[in-house]
Structure formats: C-alpha cells, structure tokens
Amino acid sequence: MSSLHLAVLSPLLLAILIPFLHKYFKNIHTGWFLLPLPAVLFAYFLQFIGTTSHGGIVMETVAWISSLGIDFTLKVDGLGLLFALLITGIGALVVLYSIYYLNPDKEKLNTFYVYLLLFMGAMLGVVLSDNLIVLYTFWELTSFSSFLLIGYWNHRERSRYGAQKSMLITVFGGLSMLGGILMLYIITGTFSITETIQMSNEVVNHPLFTATLILFLLGAFTKSAQFPFHIWLPDAMEAPTPVSAYLHSATMVKAGIYLVARMTPVFAHSGTWVWLVAGVGVITLFWGSFSAVKQTDLKAILAFSTVSQLGMIMSLLGAGAAALHYGTIEDGYYIVAVTAAVFHLINHATFKGSLFMVTGIIDHETGTRDIRKLGGLMNFMPITFTLAIIGTFSMAGIPPFNGFLSKEMFFTGMLRVAEMDIFNMDTWGILFPIIAWTASVFTFLYSMMYVFKTFMGKYQPEKLEKKPHEAPIGMLISPVILASLVIIFGIFPNVLSHNIISPAMGSILPSLLGNGEGFDVHISHWHGPTAELFMTIGVITFGILLYKFMPKWAGIYSKLPSRMSFNRFYDRGLELLELTSKNITKSYMTGFIRTYLVYIFSFFILALASTLFFKNAFKLDLSDVAPIRFFEVVLVLIMAVSAITILFAKSRLTSIILLGAVGYTVALFFVLFRAPDLALTQLVIETVSVALFLLAFYHLPQIRRNEERIRFRATNALISIGVGAIVTMIALSAHSNKTFSSISEYYVENTYKKAGGENMVNVILVDFRGFDTMFEIAVLGIAALGIFAMIKLRLTRGRELDENK
Amino acid sequence: MKTNDIILQTVTKFTLFVIILFSIHLFFAGHYYPGGGFVGGLMTSGAIVLLLLAFDIKTVKSILPIDYIKMVAVGLLFAIGTGAGALFFDMPFLTHAYTYVDLPLLGKTSLHTAVLFDTGVFLVVIGVTMTIIQTIGESE
C-alpha cells in the first residue's frame, strides 16, 4: 500500500469517522474536521508536478483480484494530476463554503459530509485508476454518492425526482461503459489502460471496435450531461449549492470529459470518434446555451451553462483528436484544440465554481433564486457583485479574464476543424465554427442576464423574503479565491501552460510525442487582427444587441412546443415504460391457475413436440413387444371407459367412484403383471384416497355441491389431447430406442447372495436403495405434520378471531 | 335415536386380531414374500380405523393412548439410526448386515438389520395414516 493509495482511499476512510466526530463534538461544525483532508491532499498532489511536467509517470499497484487481471493500479500522469488537483482544490474550497452555508442546527451534517467524502474519494479513484474495472467501480460510486447528495433534502419531492433521474441516466451510461470495458477486454486481453493504449492499432481494426466506442461514449456522454442526456443536470440543481458547485460544475460532470480524454489515444484513430465527440459536443454547446437564456432560476441558468460549456470542451477534444492523423508534433497546427480543451477545463472549474457559490450566497441572503424577483442587489452586496462580474465575464469570454483566452482558442480550434481534409470534414466541417459562434452569442447573452438582472435594475423588496445584506466573510473566502484564480489565469495564463496543460496534453496525445518531448504550450493574449478576434467582437456586439431587444424576440421560446422537450420525452418514456410493463404483466398474469396451467402445458407440448420433430426422434419399433392377452384388453377397456366417463359424469360422487374404479383396475394390472407388493399397496392406498375424496366431497358447500358436468372448452380439449398424444409418442419412441439392457440382472442374482432376502422388491426398497425409502417416509411424515398443522392452526386462528369479536 | 352397534362392535373385536396378525405377518414376511413395512403399516392402521368406526375417537384414544406424531418421529429415528449404525462399523451409510442363527424353537432363522429399517417404515406409516385420519376426524 503506497502513499498514493492511501491518498485516494483517505476520504473513504475519513467517511467512516465522520458520524462519530459529529456525535461527540456537537459544538464544532462537522465540516471543520473535513477541511484539512482535501487541503492536505491538494498539497500532496502538488508535489507530483515536478515529475509530470517532465513527462514522468508515477505508477503504484496493489494486488486486488490478480487472477482476473484486476489490480488496484493507480497512475499519476499529466491528465490524472490535473483532475486530482481540481478535485482536491475545489473540494477544499467547497467544504469551507459549506461550513458557512449549512446550518448545523437544521441540517443533518453527518450524512452530508459522509456523502461528500464518498464522492471525493470516488472521484479521485476515477481519475487516477489505471485499471478499467477499478475505474468503473469508482465511476459507479460517484453516481451513487451524487444520487445521495442530490436527494439530500429527501423530504422535497423535486429532490427525489432529480436524484432518481440522474441515477437512471448516469447508471444507464455507467452500465454501457461496463459493456465497453468488457468488449475492450475481449479485444486486448487486459484491463490496464496503459497497455490498452499501446494496443490501440489492434483495437481500431477489431470488428467489435465501433460497438466498444459507442458504449464508452454513452458512458462519457451521460456522465458529462451531453446532448440528449443533459436533462438530468438541471434537475440535479435541487441539491444544496455546495454540491452543485462541486459535483455539477467542477468535478463529476467532468468525469465524462476525463474518460473521453483518457480514451482518446485508444479510439481517436477512427473518424467515428472524431465526428461523434466533436459533433455531440457542438450540439450540446448550442442547445445548452440556447436553453440557458430562457431560464428564470439562477441555478438553472448555471446548469444549462454547464451543459453548454461541457459540450464545448467535448467538441474541442473531438476536434483535437483529429490532430492524431497529422503525424508529429511539428505539425502542431491542429493541436490547439486540445490545448483549448484542457485550458477551458480549468477555467470552467474556476469561474463556474465561484458562480455557483455566488448563487448560493444570493439564495442564502435573499431567500430566492428567481431572476424575476431579484434586482438591484448591487448596493447591498458589493463583494458578491464583484465576484459575479468576474465569473460571468469570464464565462462570456470578455478580456482580461481567462474565459476570453479559452474562447479565442476555441474559435481557433473550430476554424481549423473546417480546414481539415479528413473524414469529410471539408464538406460539413464549416458548420462547426458557425454553430460555435452562435452558441457563444447565447453564452454571452445568458452571462449578461445572470449578472445584470440580479444586481442591476430595480430593487424589489416586496418580493423578497428577507432584507438582503452582504454574506458573512467565511462564505466569501472560497469564491474570492476562485475569482482571483480567474483573474490570475486570465492575466498570466502561462503559469499553467508548462506545468499543467502540457503534461495533460501529453497524456491525451501520447503518440505525437517522441521520447522525452513535451508540448510547447504558449497562450498569448494578442494574436493580431485574426478571424478569432473579429468573431469575439461579433459575439459581443450581437450579444449586446440581443440583450437590448430581448423582450422583442424572446417570444420564440414560447413558440417551441413544450411537447418537444427532452424532459417530456423522458417523463413520458418512463410513464409509458411503467404502463406498458404493467399492461404486459396484467395481460398474462391473470391470477387464474387454469391460465397458468394452459401456459405450462402448451410449453410442455411445444418443447417436446419440436424436439421430437427437429431431432427426428420419433421411432416406432414393434419387434420387442410382448403378445397382448385377453385379460389385458378387458382391463384396458374398463379403465378407459371409467376414465373417460369421469369427464362426462354429472355428479362429483360418480367421478370419485369412477376414479376408485380406475385405481382398482390399476391394482388388477399389477396383479396381472406380477407385482404383488404393488398390488397390495395400490389397493390399500386407493381405498384411503377414495375415502378422503368422499370426505372432501361431504364438506363441499351446499350451494355448489350439485354442479352440472364439466364445461367444454376447446383450448382445454386441445391441450389435453396434445399432452396425451405427446406423452404416448415419447413413450413409444423411448421403448423403440432402447440402447442398453436393464441392470435388473444384478438384483436378480444378488438379492439372496448379498442381502439375504428373497423378496426382490422389498430388498431393493430397504437395502439396495434404502436411501430413497428413508426420504420417502420423511415425505410422509412431513405430509402428516402438514395436515395436522393446517387443521389445528385454522382452528386456533378462528378461535382468536372469535375472541376479537 | 341412539343406534345400537352391537353386531359391528362384536365383529370388530374378533376381526381386529385377525387383521393385526395379518399385518404383522405381512411385515415380517417382507424380506421373503410379498409384504413389508409399508403394507404392514397400512394394514395395522386399517385395524385401528376399524376400531374407530365401531367405537369413537375418545374410546379408541383411551384404548390406545398413543401420540401418533411421536410415532412418526420414532419411526424416522429407527430408519436413520439403522443407517447411521453402519457408520460405527466403518461401513457406508445404510449398509445392512445379516446372519443366520439357529434359534431353539424356530430353527434356522435369519436376522437382519434391514428389519430395523423396515420397523422404521412400519411405524412412520402407522403414525402418518393415523395422524391424518384422527386430525380430520376431530376437526369440525
């Protein structure tokens, strides 16, 4: 167990202690116990920068299920480290924020922090695992802990709905991914990601490749809220704001991004991957930003904004993957998309985290998140306002914040997609920059809406529950730190480029690097008057125009019928699924035993008849048949007549007596076929059972007692004839197919010699095969006890009921 | 009106012993002639049923104060015990042994552990049949 393993598992270990800490230190907010852990982990992961920035990799293995190729292998490389730093860094800030956000008297803090720690550990496991099965394990743990956190206020109906929705969608994706992992294992024979990457050529040429790719992408798209699976994210906003800030903006939703980045070296050699990732990313980008504009809830705006930004990163990863087709690092013209993806990943985590915290503060201090009720808060909350300005301007892509830089690079990447001459990009690729630009206009629009509708305009005190005031200092620390990072990364972007971005790119595009090489990333503010700059100017101009004339054109949102929304599709789908399965179940689970017997017997006939038919098994061989004697014919006639008469008997008493007749005829057959023991037993048993039948008949209710004869039903007749025919056919074929002689010779010889008896039947029963007899008498005993219990227990229960009356 | 069952009861008193003797014969002859624990047990319970028909449950209970459920248990113990006995002689479960002994009155006779097993069957069958009949008879 290395220190790295300890680091990944430490949140899970601390989670065990949290309930005790919560119970025994009631005066201290439980969050304080938590806070040191992510901070220490952050510092711990920082020390890996020295290794990874030179392309180094730290790998540690602990044996888990080695026989199945599943080992707890952790690997720190550029990409994993970037995510680990995000998780622990933002984790620390979120914990600090939550200490001031959650009221220890009103909330169940112990469960909250246990879930949060579970999530943190799971997320670290996802990004650092090198074994796909371990990665999947942690992946599902993130889904579960996210489910618990979304449903944290489980007394609210919306919370439960949101939690269930996110669970269904992400677990659907997770299971698809598991399918992908298993297929990948079939192709490569290993679960190790590192080894899989080395075998990427075999993977691409394997017939299962496309299926594997799609299954992996389903996992990544559902987790990262890509179109059309984005619908769970807005509903996940029912979670407490620290959770939204942490899970649904900075970390969990980026797990899909991580997966795509991690698997890029394996899959990216195919056009399917590039088109799917980039295409879905761009559609998500557009749809998210377009939908964000119509929201009135601050968190909903941020949720759709997150969807849109994740789509942007995804599309950049897809476009960047195409760079793999251009050979070497010297040809680095197309690599800028990957740089932009990694850079924006960091930027998004900083500004979106701070914006969620700002939303939490507004919610906390005014009592509402509804944009229509808010306004004019600038004077009451100057610091929050400043933070919001920084966050939204960065999100909109306005200089000098970091969002500007990543947006410029995004445009560059998209323009280069249009120039590519692979995978038919030259025909349809032009759509990418156009959609990207339109989406950016909407991004600008909702960013402005967020900040100006909340903080500027008219103050509406009558609509607010409380009188707004500035948040406590503790709540402001985390967003201030994040906002400062926004500015620092905006002004000095190159502090990141060498240490963080370049090694992360090295993990995404390893095949482009020779030994000891690294990507030379340099982010600059000013490129000269390029197309990107004019696009940005266009975004700002159009954005401002649209914002100004919003009331005039906002009507188009109501034009889109609500029936077309994906939420409705999901809700109706679930309902339909439930209804259909209920109807299907109802249609065949009728509750009548008769119906079930019809199923059972029809299946019996079908299965046996088809076996007979397809195996060509029916055979009739009469060479071995004994001569038929007169008595046998008479007895068969008697038996057949009484058996058939049972069916047409009018009274039940007749049926019982006829049944007895059948039984005694069977006993006569035993006599005729020389089975005296059987005959004796059959006689006595038949007598007893007829007596019991008579008893049952005697106790029938008077009204139904003299019912008319059995009603004729065609299905019943058909099925019973079928069963009879099939059994006869099988018996005849079995008789004709005797392949070996009987073992009875042994018994004939040894009954006296070895067992000292002369009645062979009895010797077999008690000696040769006494084991069967032992359990048969046990069966009898159980039957007797059962009858005794049924009758006696019924009596006592009846008596109790009487007493209750 | 009280019926007088004097003929039935008197005939029963005589027949009972014949049936019981027959059933014991069936039981002991089992290893050499048709019969055995199962039919023997059924016949014995037939005799008791005849008693039940001629008299009533209370009387029969006072004549034969037997708990038939315990009888089932004892029978099962017999059967399993016979099987387990073989284990003490380092033989597989349910291995039977027999010898021929010259008894003073009966002459050359065979003695079987299988008879003990059959006794178990015999007791279980009586117990089961009587439990069923008695329980149903007593229920209202």
- What gap in Å lies between CA A336 and CA A532, rounded to an integer? 13
From the CA of B134, how many Å to the nearest CA of chain A? Answer: 9
- What gap in Å lies between CA A25 and CA A22, rounded to an integer? 6
**Vertex B90, ends B86 and B92: CA angle to 5°?**
55
The whole-number average pLDDT for the span B50-69 is 88
Preceding omega of A400 cis (within 30 degrees of 0): yes
Q: Which of A291, A243, A263, A282 is nearest to A119 (CA)?
A: A243
- What gap in Å lies between CA A308 and CA A504, rounded to an integer? 22
pLDDT at A423: 64
* Angle in degrees, 0-180, between the axes of helices B68-88 and A770-804, rounded to the nearest 10: 150
Place of tokens 């039984």: A663
CB-CB neighbors (< 8 A) of B125 in chain A = 777, 780
Q: Which of B36, B64, B71, B62 is nearest to B48 (CA)?
A: B64
**CA A562, A563, A565, A568 torsion: positive or negative?**
positive
pLDDT at B122: 93
CB-CB neighbors (< 8 A) of B96 in chain A = 755, 766-767, 770
CB-CB neighbors (< 8 A) of A781 in chain B = 72-73, 75-76, 124, 127-128
In one letter, which amino acid is A127?
V
Structure token pair of residue A211:
């299926």
pLDDT at A252: 86
CB contact under 8 A, B114 and A763: yes
Q: Which residues of A747-763 are buried (b: 16+ CB within 10 A; e: fewer)?
A: beeebeeebbbebbbbb
Which residue is closest to B81 within chain A, CA to CA? A774
pLDDT at A805: 47
Place of tokens 């980039």: A278
CB-CB neighbors (< 8 A) of A783 in chain B = 128, 132
CB contact under 8 A, A770 and B46: no
A633 by Cβ neighbours in 10 Å (0-12 / 13-18 / 19+) ranks as: exposed
From the CA of A707, how many Å to the nearest CA of chain B? Answer: 24
- What gap in Å lies between CA B95 and CA A767, rounded to an integer? 7
CB-CB neighbors (< 8 A) of A791 in chain B = 135-136, 138-139
CB pairs under 8 A between A and B: 126
3-state helix, strand, coil in chain A (%, to 5): 75, 0, 20
CB-CB neighbors (< 8 A) of A795 in chain B = 139-140
CB contact under 8 A, B32 and A791: no
From the CA of A705, how many Å to the nearest CA of chain B? Answer: 19
CB contact under 8 A, A777 and B76: yes
- Cβ contact A174:A219 at 8 Å: yes
- Cβ contact A143:A171 at 8 Å: yes
CB contact under 8 A, B136 and A684: no
- What gap in Å lies between CA A230 and CA A300, rounded to an integer? 12
Query: What secondary structure, in 3-state letters, does A627-685 show?
Result: CCCHHHHHHHHHHHHHHHHHHHCCCHHHHHHHHHHHHHHHHHHHHHCCCHHHHHHHHHH
What letter does residue A74 receive in the DSSP assignment?
E
* Span A147-185, pLDDT tens digits: 999 989 888 888 999 999 999 999 999 999 999 999 999
- Phi/psi region, residue A423 (left: phi>0; alpha: psi -120 to 50; beta: rest), is left
* Angle in degrees, 0-180, between the axes of helices A298-321 and A254-267, rounded to the nearest 10: 10
Which residue is closest to B42 within chain A, CA to CA? A684
- Cβ contact A719:A605 at 8 Å: yes
- Cβ contact B76:B120 at 8 Å: yes
CB contact under 8 A, B131 and A787: yes
CB contact under 8 A, B72 and A792: no
In the predicted model, residues of chain A with pLDDT beneath 70 are: 326-333, 421-427, 465, 468, 513-528, 560-564, 702-709, 794-805
CB contact under 8 A, A781 and B127: yes
pLDDT at A515: 57
In one letter, which amino acid is B75?
G
Helices (H) and strands (E) in chain A, counts: 37, 2
| Residue A156, phi then psi, degrees to nearest 5 | -95, 135
What letter does residue A423 receive in the DSSP assignment?
T
Place of tokens 């070996």: A740
Cβ-nearest to B124 among A681, A765, A781: A781
Q: Which of A420, A405, A419, A415 is nearest to A435 (CA)?
A: A415
Q: Which of B19, B44, B35 is nearest to B124 (CA)?
A: B44
Q: Is the pTM of this model over 0.90?
A: no
CB contact under 8 A, A766 and B37: yes
- What gap in Å lies between CA A286 and CA A763, rounded to an integer? 86
Cβ-nearest to A759 among B31, B124, B125: B31
**Vertex A529, ends A527 and A532: CA angle to 5°?**
75
CB-CB neighbors (< 8 A) of A681 in chain B = 38-39, 42
pLDDT at A721: 92
CB contact under 8 A, B127 and A784: yes
CB contact under 8 A, B43 and A763: no
Q: Which of A316, A386, A392, A310 is nearest to A351 (CA)?
A: A392
* Span A193-228, pLDDT tens digits: 888 888 888 888 888 888 889 999 999 999 988 888
Cβ-nearest to A677 among B36, B117, B138: B36
Structure token pair of residue A362:
């507004």
State the greatest distance between any 2 C-alpha atoms of chain A, in Å, as a whole number: 116
- What gap in Å lies between CA B36 and CA A594, rounded to an integer? 40
Using CA atoms in the order A655, A657, A660, A664, what is the torsion angle rounded to 10 degrees? Answer: -130
From the CA of B86, how many Å to the nearest CA of chain A? Answer: 12
Cβ-nearest to A777 among B34, B75, B139: B75
Which residues are A76's β-sheet partners?
Answer: A58
pLDDT at A329: 53
Residue to test with chain A: of B82, B128, B130, B133, most A Cβ within 10 A: B128
